[in-house]
Every structure is written in C-alpha cells, then in structure tokens.
Amino acid sequence: MIAQVVQTSRSPFVCIALVYTKAMQMSIYFLDFVYAKLEKPYKS
C-alpha cells in the first residue's frame, strides 16, 4: 500500500511523512506491549 503511494508521488516530503507516521504507529504498539508486560505483575 505504502509502496504504491510512494511510486505515484515523487515528493520526498510525502515519503518522509509516510515513514514517520508508520514509525509512530509501530512505536505506539511497542509502548503498549511493554506497558502491558510491566503492568501485569503488579496487578496479580
């Protein structure tokens, strides 16, 4: 999906924006995962 958008638009800014938003999503998922891991021992 992202590859198609990059091919259609040659603007480097669009590429950077797509990579940035993707990285933000991944980091949010990662933080969510770590937080859940840390939270479980205290709850039990």
Output the pLDDT for position 30.
94
What distance separates the 2 farthest-apart alpha carbons in the chain?
52
Domain layout of the chain by residue ranges = 2-43
The CA distance from 2 to 39, in Å, is 34
The CA distance from 23 to 28, in Å, is 9
Percentage of the residues of the chain whose pLDDT score is greater than 70: 68
Is the pLDDT at 4 greater than 70? The verdict is no
Amino acid at residue number 20: Y
Output the pLDDT for position 15.
83
CB 16 within 8 A of CB 24: no
Output the pLDDT for position 13.
86
Q: How confident is the model at residue 23 (pLDDT cuts 50, 70, 90)?
A: very high
Cα end-to-end span (Å), the chain: 41
How high is the mean pLDDT of the chain?
Answer: 80
